[in-house]
Amino acid sequence: MMSDSVYQRCIDPACGQTYGVEEVRTACGTCGNLLDVAYDWAKLPLPKKLADFEHKWSRRHEPLEYSGVWRFRELLPFAPDDRIVTIGEGQTLLQHARDVAKYVGLTGGELHLQYEGMNPSGSFKDNGMSAAFTHAHTIGAKRAACASTGNTSASLALYCAVTKHMKAVIFIGSGKISYGKLSQALDYGALTVQIAGDFDDAMARVQEISRELGIYLVNSVNPFRLEGQKTIMYRVLEALRWEVPDWIVVPGGNLGNSSAFGKAFIELKELGLVDRLPRLAVINASGANTLYELYERRGVRWDDGKPQPAVCGYYEQLDQQSKRASTIASAIEINRPVNLNKCLRALDAMQGVVREVTDQEIMDAKAQVGAGGLGCEPASAASVAGAKQLLAEGIIGRDERVVCILTGHQLKDPTATVAYHTTDQDKFNEVLGSRGVRRASFANRAVAVNNNLNEIIQAIQLYS
């Protein structure tokens, strides 16, 4: 039965249809819109202030307090403690990145990098997967499926392998996944189905298959996934001693993170746990720039989640042109983001902006992040490239506190990294040149020397 304090609700206030938390739904049955996990906070136990969560630090030997998701479970209270699924996700780092700040142009402020690559599967997806698995475990699901550009599949396969709660079925597009990510899904024992097409094709098929076969869908259209991703913002606040930063900058693909971040801050403000919301910047790759095109060029805004003609018209245009997403940042290589309406809501609440960055800008920013000690996959670096652009435009002030989200580990896509730094021009052209990257502005190339002691010493002394 639907709880009177926790339930699922259509995001369109004019509809407002509600469903119990025991139901498996990815859309409203009345109007077809997205769903939220909603709470009647007045009926739930809550902290009086965010700093109250600090008392859990001394209980890190307990699995739920160790988890960077579930130690905040009072703010996502949709499951009983004994049904929660955790594998220690959320042990992530907020790095004060002074050298990257200089590259971005943040001369008087602070740049922080929230490094979600430290999660067990190497990306932010584990935050949401833990929450989705918890819901699936609560309702007794036996199989779980996703469409993926790589990170979701790795996380799903990992949770299935470690917990043994479910079997994983993964849909990927042809040639649209890096080996670093594919190797995880294969190694963890998931059934991987490669279809002819891209992520958008795989996403359409997995939704059909999930409905047809009754498989639990864990893509971010699942509202419980986004509940877990809210906790990335709680950990950012925790690391900043509960002070709200001026900006959150995040890569935009399927728009689950930006949607979750918006929901997190809207709820915290509603509960009086923060006094203001940061501004939000969502960064598309220029080869997969649907949100930028709709938001910045066509003026699409949050309209209570209602379908908008400009959105439908743009998608029809993509179909007519047979336009596919294309970027080296494979994790955000998506033309039809399923969380568009929720992201528009977040942008509205957080005075948001959207930008697009080229693969050249992404790879240069990635090299700068790596030089600071936190290697990230290309999609992650879109946030840093976007922050640099917004500084140059004067949108972000040079004395502001900015948090860029690094969504995935460097080893998610080592091919792109090696190609950027290589001395092999053919390899560079094959991997990056074909994507419009013309130069490796910050390459750290290997030095070739003969197997001769004096030559090796000379090379080292020149480097030093």
Residues constituting the chain: 464
In 207-253, at which residue ranges do the beta strands (DSSP E only) sit? 216-217, 247-251
Tell which CATH classification among 3.30.1180.10, 3.40.50.1100, 2.40.110.10, 3.30.530.20 matches the domain 93-122+225-416.
Answer: 3.40.50.1100
| 422: its two tokens | 């290589």
Domain with CATH 3.40.50.1100 in the chain: 93-122+225-416
Residues 6+ apart with CB under 8 A from 196: 173, 174
C-alpha distances in angstroms, 23 versus 19, 66, 86, 137, 417?
7, 29, 22, 12, 43
Amino acid at 222: N
H/E stretch holding 279:
strand 279-285
| 311: its two tokens | 């959105």
> CB burial class (10 A; 0-12, 13-18, 19+) of residue 119?
buried
Amino acid at 44: L
* CA angle, residues 160, 162, 165, in degrees to nearest 5: 45
pTM for this prediction: 0.95
* pLDDT tens for the 464 residues of the chain, in order: 347 899 999 999 999 999 999 999 999 999 999 999 999 999 999 999 999 999 999 999 999 999 999 999 999 999 999 999 999 999 999 999 999 999 999 999 999 999 999 999 999 999 999 999 999 999 999 999 998 888 999 999 999 999 998 999 998 887 667 888 889 989 999 998 888 888 888 888 999 999 999 999 999 899 999 999 999 999 999 999 999 999 999 999 999 999 999 999 999 999 999 999 999 999 999 999 999 999 999 999 998 877 788 999 999 999 999 888 999 999 999 999 999 999 999 999 999 999 999 999 999 999 999 999 999 999 999 999 999 999 999 999 999 999 999 999 999 999 999 999 999 999 999 999 989 999 999 999 988 899 999 999 999 998 86
In 77-195, at which residue ranges do the beta strands (DSSP E only) sit? 93-96, 110-115, 143-147, 167-173, 191-195
